Amino acid sequence: MRAFQNSANGRYFMRNDGMKRGILTAMLLLCAPWAGAEVFEQTLPNGLKVVVKEDHRAPVVVQQVWYRAGSMDEKTGTTGVAHVLEHMMFKGTKAVPVGEFSRRIAAAGGRENAFTSYDYTAYFQQLHKSKLPLAMKLESDRMHNLNLTDAEFGKEIKVVMEERRMRTEDDPRALLQEKMSAVTWQEHPYQHPIIGWMSDLEAMKGADARDWYRRWYVPNNATLVVAGDVKASEVFALAKKYYGGIPKCMLPPRRQYTELEQVGVKRLVVKAPAELPFLMMAYHAPAVRNAAQDWKPYALEVLAGILDGNESARLNQSLVREQQLASEVGAGYDSIARGPSLFVLEGTPSEGKTVAELEAALRAQVDKLIADGVSAEELQRVKAQVMADEVYKLDSMFYQAMQIGQLESSGLSHRDIPVMMAHLRAVTAEQVVAVAKEFLKDDNLTVAVLDPQPLSGKPKAAAPAGGFHAH
């Protein structure tokens, strides 16, 4: 499920996975025909927030439970535990044996999975609306009755370690991204990979997962999102029935992390078996903190669209088509996060071209934008094109729920959506230039280069029994 913002490999995705996300992916749902669907909210006495979005186009419902606990809440030495517990949540309770959760959802004609990020962990089911009580019964059961045994942990930690090998260590771009994050962030826990360092996984015990579960998997640290062909009043009644009896618990204090101001370019080279070199340029940038008062994140979103909003955008038009310096190139930015963000430029140099030439060309494009500005016609075209693209891509009940859950779990609210859209549409050409000048500078920059090494020719190992979850 690579369309998600977050991954066990990190926050930022390569171009093939869709660089445009953030507000322009989460907020543009408003433009769809079903944008008028009402959203209802209620908080149960135990602190569980329940958000319902009615969408009566098809007899389908999506249930998502979002816990505001991700890898940024982990302690040094137990990195990866949030993701490990995500796996363990499918290992059964006293009432639902190992493997039975997924079997019952499948027997009801539904699908289910989970994903872990820096900022949160979420679990979802999508099935016929008549099966919502079943999904709630199963999900509420494992919220507080998980049977987290050392025996099952011992099996699953091996699956996670193999997942790390296949998705990070054997994937040169993912490895480059991981190493870049470790260098980019000096203080913030975003420096650690979501899937965890291998040494921490090797040393992890069942007790670490049990401690994480007790700390964070409580109703007052969760948001229940339901979208589909339902009535809000009926969903609230079901939520009270299945989740209302779970006791709230005192949450541990959360440290408010900051990131020291960077002074000078950071550079790293990662050698790994690969066919082609790859370049990533990551600039420190802010995320949305106050939807009504912030303006810079919205301007950064538009900047990303101008550089890489479509095949005719500046980077592709100039560096791929005209100069033929790159075979692929892109820009990406996440504006919704609990912590700070990055603005990323990346690409693969064309045959006969070097990474240094591509870096110089990307820098030249930024300088040109700052010097020459953005025309009103270009600004409006980029906004319209990105909106149209994202509306068609995200026209689904699942992403309606994703939109709500991501906002609620990142310190914002689904009520911020109209405000964000208004600010996005109000972005001016001058603001785009201003944020490019303020943030796309060397003192904010980390440059990571993949130096391709000869391929070994050894066949990749098969995925272990148990499989991987969606990340």
Among 347, 56, 76, residue whose Cα is nearest residue 188? 76
Residue scoring higher pLDDT (380 or 64): 64
- Evaluate whether 82 touches 66 at the Cβ level (below 8 Å): no
Tens-digit pLDDT profile for residues 177-218: 999 999 999 999 999 999 999 999 999 999 999 999 999 999
How crowded is residue 33: how many other Cβ atoms within 10 Å of its Cβ? 9
3-state SS assignment for residue 228: strand
Mean pLDDT over residues 75-95, rounded? 97
Among 75, 28, 119, residue whose Cα is nearest residue 411? 119
Q: What is the DSSP string of 322-366?
A: IS--EEEEEEEE----SS-EEEEEEEEEPTT--HHHHHHHHHHHH
- The mean pLDDT of the chain is 89
Residue 458 confidence (pLDDT): 61
How far the first Cα of the chain sits from its last, in Å, is: 6
- Residue 12: left (phi > 0), alpha (psi -120 to 50), or beta? beta
For the cut 50, the answer to whether the pLDDT of residue 5 exceeds it is no
Residue 3 confidence (pLDDT): 29
- What's the angle, vertex CA 176, arms to CA 170 and CA 180, rounded to 5? 145
Choosing from 74, 86, 112, 156, which is the catalytic residue? 86
Mean pLDDT over residues 244-265, rounded? 94
Residue scoring higher pLDDT (27 or 396): 396
Where do we find the tokens 């579960």?
A: 213
- Residue 77: left (phi > 0), alpha (psi -120 to 50), or beta? left
List 281's β-bridge partners, or say none: 345, 447
For the cut 50, the answer to whether the pLDDT of residue 21 exceeds it is no
For the cut 70, the answer to whether the pLDDT of residue 4 exceeds it is no
Residues 6+ away with beta carbon under 8 Å from 247: 46, 144, 218, 219
Mean pLDDT over residues 279-284, rounded? 98
Where do we find the tokens 């963000």?
A: 341
Residue 22 confidence (pLDDT): 45
Confidence of residue 31 (pLDDT cuts 50, 70, 90): very low
Residue 20 confidence (pLDDT): 41
Q: How far is CA 190 from CA 44, 177, 194, 263, 448, in A?
A: 32, 12, 8, 19, 16
Among 105, 139, 135, 109, residue whose Cα is nearest residue 122? 139
Q: How far is CA 142 from CA 8, 51, 94, in A?
A: 22, 20, 9
For the cut 80, the answer to whether the pLDDT of residue 464 exceeds it is no
For the cut 50, the answer to whether the pLDDT of residue 9 exceeds it is no
Q: Which helix (H) or strand (E) holds 124?
A: strand 121-128
Q: Which helix (H) or strand (E) holds 307?
A: helix 296-308
Confidence of residue 28 (pLDDT cuts 50, 70, 90): very low
Is 139 catalytic? The answer is no
